[in-house]
């Protein structure tokens, strides 16, 4: 009889624990979806406090006949970033962006953040390709631009050190 009593007590304790855990999970989920729902109705807000990066044509080295196809492709890819909005919004969740800047700005800001990711990737590839082509000295303006605008990655830091420029 005491064994059954202990089993019943253990079951009640376990059941109480699971119920409280479920209530906590439900509360968190409810708070998340409430926040998401309210973000959907935020009107368009000013994005003047966002620092957009302006990538310019003069930063991109010219392709030459002897360049690899990969280097030519990267140079072509970088030309696509000229004149478009670029910014690092990795510190924000999608809900945070909608709450702060409104749902109407969300698509444009997402595109600008994706452009930032492309800038980091393509710049890294550019530096690697220029190094392989023996043209790393042409990367100075790009490296300075990236450092000045806080754009960083492991590859960019590596080539910043090699080129003797300061990282920020």
Residue 37 belongs to some domain of the structure: no
166 has pLDDT over 60: no
Full residue range of the structural domain in which residue 62 is found: 57-163
- pLDDT single digits (tens) 124-165: 999 889 888 888 888 888 888 888 988 877 778 777 777 655
Mean pLDDT score of the chain: 86
Q: What 8-state DSSP symbol labels residue 55?
A: -
167 has pLDDT over 80: no
Residue 153 belongs to some domain of the structure: yes
Residue 31 belongs to some domain of the structure: no
Residue 79 belongs to some domain of the structure: yes
- pLDDT single digits (tens) 38-95: 888 899 999 999 999 999 998 888 888 888 899 889 999 999 999 999 999 999 999 9
Residue 26 belongs to some domain of the structure: no
Core vs surface per residue 34-58: b (16+ CB within 10 A) or e? eeeeebeebeeeebeeeeebebeee
C-alpha span between 127 and 10 (Å, rounded): 63
Domain count, the chain: 1
Contacts of 133 (CB under 8 A, 6+ apart): 66, 67, 68, 71
Closest CA to 153 of 113, 116, 119, 124: 124
Residue 99 belongs to some domain of the structure: yes
Contacts of 47 (CB under 8 A, 6+ apart): 101, 105, 109
Residue 7 belongs to some domain of the structure: no
Contact 135, 61 (CB under 8 A): yes
Token output for 131? 């190094």
C-alpha span between 125 and 74 (Å, rounded): 7
85: left (phi over 0), alpha (psi -120 to 50) or beta: beta
Residue 15 belongs to some domain of the structure: no
């Amino acid at each position: 009889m005491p064994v059954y009593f202990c089993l019943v007590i253990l079951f009640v304790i376990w059941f109480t624990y699971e119920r409280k855990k479920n209530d906590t999970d439900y509360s968190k989920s409810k708070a998340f979806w409430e926040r998401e729902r309210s973000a959907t109705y935020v009107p368009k807000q000013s994005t003047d406090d966002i620092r957009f990066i302006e990538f310019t044509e003069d930063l991109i080295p010219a392709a030459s006949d002897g360049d690899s196809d990969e280097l030519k492709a990267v140079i072509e890819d970088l030309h696509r970033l000229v004149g478009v909005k670029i910014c690092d919004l990795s510190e924000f969740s999608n809900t945070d962006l909608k709450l702060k800047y409104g749902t109407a700005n969300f698509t444009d800001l997402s595109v600008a953040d994706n452009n930032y990711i492309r800038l980091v990737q393509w710049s890294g590839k550019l530096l690697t390709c220029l190094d392989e082509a023996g043209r790393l000295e042409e990367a100075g303006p790009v490296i300075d631009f990236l450092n000045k605008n806080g754009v960083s990655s492991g590859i960019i830091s590596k080539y910043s050190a090699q080129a003797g420029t300061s990282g920020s």
